[in-house]
Structure 1
């Protein structure tokens, strides 16, 4: 499990250097006071899309797009929509996400410990109860819709060529980054500016590709912990994998190393996330990300790189959910 650990260490170090893990950066993005998070996010997504598609064309990578997440309520994408809304709410409530929580712990941000506790609780709830119920509903819905074709990628959906779609998506990313950088000029409390931070995080994606031939994603670690919990209490068979746990453990170490090597990376957050709020937010993060089949990294950084429709839908729902909750509580 050294390869996931190495990938995680690179990811955790990059998040900390970019300071995108700070609670105030996340919460203030949802209130549109600080555009640091979105600027970094769009940069890393655009750079990762470039890397992934180039390596796919060269034959180095062979990855499938993200499947739709369905819970059998109102759409084949209802899991992505509802899960994304819960995930976004969790971002605002906890000031964290399923990936940055591990960087928070490594860099000594206290609320991260409570958020992780909530995430573990959410993983236990998900793997013990919600997963089986929602999978059963999804199977029933799938049987009812047999014969219907659902396109998984933007190029298949639009009917355009893969290259044309890729160029269009990259143009949108680039124009959005340029516009936000010019109009908002967000500053970073980290070691680098937001755009450079995004490129560094995309470098962590490259580390994952080189070491594992796989893309970054962290939220499955909560599900793995939940599976191990139910195995430990004698309710399940021993889980077969702990690769996501290894990856997120590496993230903690990577963030810790950067924080120790550069004290300026250990900035103090401008907001305080109370323990009960952090725990509740952690539950929302875990349940929402598993319902959506991915999180800000799995969908936002990796899934969109594969032009997956489900990832774009999840990310859009995430920001709607986060901004909606922020309008109520902030």
Structure 2
């Protein structure tokens, strides 16, 4: 997720008893229990190093799977939004469905229930300053940026690793978007913060049903949808769309193959929830890593007090694990592209379009408290109400932009080489 609650050394410092509403109905600030503070002090540097290593390795797998699934290519993303390709939808649904099944199993096993409880509480804490309005407008803006850049906050790192044309400028746009939002974050939160705090943030708690009873059937249902999509829309058809001027040779080696079946890549990504949950008691997400990176200039107490939004993302394992994760995604994308000899073969947008798309993606993700991974994979997986609202608006913004670009005949305007404008 992206709008992180307070973390120290990778341990959650707020439980469900501290999240809720004041007597006037407004959302409470989360407080750090003393016993958790004491526990955090006992975490050693070697333990932190192991946790960060796990996140880095998970990021490598994430980048590798996205590159092999070909969903990272701007053409895959843009054509998904005008329903001419279904690589992205297959991967998104299979990753979400797998995540739902993973979380439901964690909730059913006695030894892992505390992990899911900690993850759920942390995720819910992200919404203390978010409501319906921000969960509609933020994702819509994010979706516009997705189609313009042919990326998403997590995908752009894989694009950089595979050296997709002008993806470095999408990354620069994301960093600039994170910085500018961070500078005025408190003002945005003050204006958009809901007056009433919802009593229940998750579907199962609203209806007082066991998490397992909702998540598992939903995950299996999504799996059925993916199977139907794979049956009636051959993934090779999408590959021919991507590589109309090339001959793709069959590969026996899964590491050197140009592409995997999208649903297989999605399942692998969904399974990555497990190491992240056990390592840092969190879920897949990437957009807050940009804020952590751009907040490092706050080196004085005066600057830290002036820009509190940036300051709370600056330090701590709860923030830096995502930086290691997305750094691993760059490496994973590069390794996969190198093995399949597809480095620099994916074409991207012009420099201005890449920059604008990156800025809009991060502004939308920050406003919504989540990106494609945060709301889409983790939020839906944890049955968060605002995520069920955010995801449709995210794709609505992307689809409207896609058809608008198609009508203007610029949807397939790609550049062959980086620095092409």
The 8 Å contact of residues 64 and 333 in structure 2, kept in 1 or not, is answered as yes
Correspondence list, 1:290-309, <5 A: 290-309=366-385
Rate the CA distance shift 1:231–1:282 in 2: closer, same or farther, 3 A: farther
- How has the CA–CA distance of structure 1 residues 127 and 95 changed in structure 2, closer, same or farther, with 3 Å as cutoff? same
Is 1:17 the counterpart of 2:72 in the alignment? no
Q: How many residues align?
A: 319
Aligned counterparts of 1:232 and 1:244: Cα–Cα separation in 2 = 24
> SS where residue 64 of structure 1 aligns?
helix
Q: CA deviation at 1:260?
A: 1.7
Instruction: State the shift of 1:161 in Å.
Output: 4.1
**Structure 1 contact 7–211 (Cα < 8 Å) conserved:** no
Alpha-carbon offset, residue 92 of structure 1: 0.2
Native 8 Å contact 1:227 1:236 kept in 2: no
Q: Distance in 1 between matches of 2:60 and 2:300?
A: 28
Q: Does residue 176 of structure 1 match 2:232?
A: no
Residue 124 and residue 185 in structure 1: after superposition, are their counterparts in 2 closer, same or farther (change >3 A)? same
CA contact under 8 A between 1:101 and 1:116: conserved in structure 2? yes
List aligned pairs for 1:67-146, cutoff 5 A. 67=124, 69=127, 76-129=131-184, 131-139=185-193, 141-142=194-195, 145=196
- Give the TM-score normalised by structure 1: 0.88
Q: Larger % of helix: which?
A: 1
- The partner residue of 1:261 within 336, 339, 355 is 339
Residue 185 (structure 1) shift: 2.4
Partners in 2 of 1:232 and 1:119 — Cα distance? 25
Alpha-carbon distance between aligned partners in 2 of 1:234 and 1:122, rounded to the nearest angstrom: 23
Cα displacement string for residues 249-273 of structure 1 (whole angstroms, at most 9, x for unaligned residues): 111111112222222x54733x541
1:226, 1:267 → 2: CA distance? 27
| Residues 1:240 and 2:289 aligned together | no
Distance in 2 of aligned mates of 1:277 and 1:232 = 35
Q: CA deviation at 1:6?
A: 2.1
Q: Residue in 1 aligned with 2:120?
A: 64
Of 288-297 and 171-180, the range deviating more from structure 2: 171-180
Shifted more, 175-184 versus 288-297: the winner is 175-184
CA distance in 1 between counterparts of 2:290 and 2:301 reads 17
Shift of 1:213: 3.7
Instruction: Specify the alignment match of 1:55 in structure 2.
Output: 106
Q: Is the 8 A contact 2:149 2:353 kept in 1?
A: yes
Contact 2:133-2:192 at 8 Å conserved across structures: no
- Counterpart selection for 1:26 from 77, 81, 86: 77
Higher normalized contact order (CA 8 Å, seq sep 6+, divided by chain length): 1
* Residue 21 of structure 1: how far off its partner (Å): 0.8
Cα deviation for residue 312 of structure 1 reads 1.7
**Unmatched 5+ residue regions in structure 1?**
none
Aligned CA RMSD, in angstroms, stands at 2.4
1:274 corresponds to which residue? 350
Tell me the secondary structure at the aligned position of residue 235 of structure 2: coil
Q: Distance in 1 between matches of 2:212 and 2:56?
A: 33
Flag structure 2 segments of 5+ consecutive residues without an equivalent. 1-51, 240-257, 306-310, 407-421
1:285 aligns to 2:340 (yes or no): no
2:387 to 304, 308, 311: 311
Once the two structures are overlaid, the 10-residue window that deviates more, 156-165 or 49-58, is 156-165
2:291 is matched with 223
For each residue in 1:199-245, what CA deviation from the matched residue of structure 2 results, as whole angstroms up to 9, or x when unmatched? 12223333333443432110001221232245489733662233322
**What TM-score do the two structures reach when normalised by structure 2?**
0.70
Q: Structure 2 CA distance, aligned partners of 1:205 and 1:156?
A: 21
